[in-house]
Structure formats: C-alpha cells, structure tokens
Structure 1
C-alpha cells in the first residue's frame, strides 16, 4: 500500500498529490493533518518550493519521523521547475535512513501570477506515470 503526503501553500503540490493518489487509488493527505508517520510500503512525499527549498513544515516532518529503511518517492512543484525542493528533501531523507526510489518535479504556480496554468495536463500525466513507475520499482 502507498501513502501520498504533501505540504502546499499555493495549491500546485496538492494538485500533483491528488493526481498521484488518484492513480494509486488512495487519498492524498496534508502533513498538517498527521500526528504520526503512516505505515505504507511506499511513501510519496511532496512539497512546494519556497526560497529554493522545501517548506519548513515538510522539513520538520522529515526530521521528526523515523524513515529508516522506508521507501520514499518524492515530488514537487516550483516556479522554475528546477526541483531544488525535491533534492533537499532527498538529502534530508537520506540522512534519516530512507530509501529514495524516485523523484518528480515540474513547474507550479508562483507569486499568484507566474506560471498560471501550471501544473497542467502534461504535468499531471507525467506525475501519474511517475506513480506507476514507483510502484513497479
């Protein structure tokens, strides 16, 4: 079983989380609503990019939980679509003993007016392919 967990401020990452979760037949959950790390074969973790890094709440979530040996698949959305937030989550999770099996990132809406329409259909389709690939890994 998989769990899809995310943090978002602008909504782009939630949309990606919903696309991934829908593909997997589960419901995406905000980390704000969790008190403990769910048990799952694969944890999908997503964050938006804020100042070139993941949300502070996501980093606190990672630091506050035991990921030893846990398979994780990371995703994110940012104004430039560079994936810096995903790379930073990978580094933090590796320090916590997680096994990162894959990463996906795309452009997301930024500053309310930049990248309007992102993520778009192609991004959601790619996120769904990513989800399918991760469960096969």
Structure 2
C-alpha cells in the first residue's frame, strides 16, 4: 500500500534562507506516517495492546529546497519487514511533478510498552505489516 499525504509549506516552516528547515522534514514525514497508519487501519493492532512503535533510525536525503506556499506530496510505504524491525520508505515530491524534494528510510521496531524492549514481529502484527509491503518505485 502506498499512502499519500499533502502538506502546504507555510512561513513558519522556513529558516533564514527562506526554504524549509531540515528539521521540519522530520515533522512532515511523521505526519505522513500517522496518516498512513490511520488509512491502513494498522493502529487497530496496537489499540488496547501492550505494544507500541518506536523509530530507531532515520536516513534522509535532501534533494531540492521547498519554499513558501509550495505543495508537497509525501508518499509512504513499507519497504522491508524483518524479524524485529521494519523499514518504511518515504518520498517527498513537489505536488503534481516527479521532482523529488527529499527521500527517507525510517527503521522502526515494535516494543513492549512495559519493558521498552523490541519484540519479535509475529502473529497479527507481522501479518498486517506484510500485507502493506509495496515499494514506491
């Protein structure tokens, strides 16, 4: 499943150079991940459970500046599911173009909320994640 989130760049996203500050991209990507999880009904696996998600690594490549009032299209999908972690791919495009603004790989684990330790991906969690695998390109 590929999920798309649209964000309009606002003045408060900009830095002194009048383009989106690098740290803001992390917020954009997080907003898109929440949208993905809501649309895919992935969160039902965690509702009422003793499990949660924790980001353990983010690798981001900045390809082009984004400027005030530009509209960004953030596409998110799961790229890889491992035994204890999963990787989500996210690509930020200038809306209605193939111009890549940034791309990122986000690694996360499922944790036991009580112990804050990563758990093995298995059962319903693994089934749901595997059902969402679909590379962007």
Q: TM-score, normalised by structure 2?
A: 0.25
* Higher strand residue share: 2
* Higher helix residue share: 1
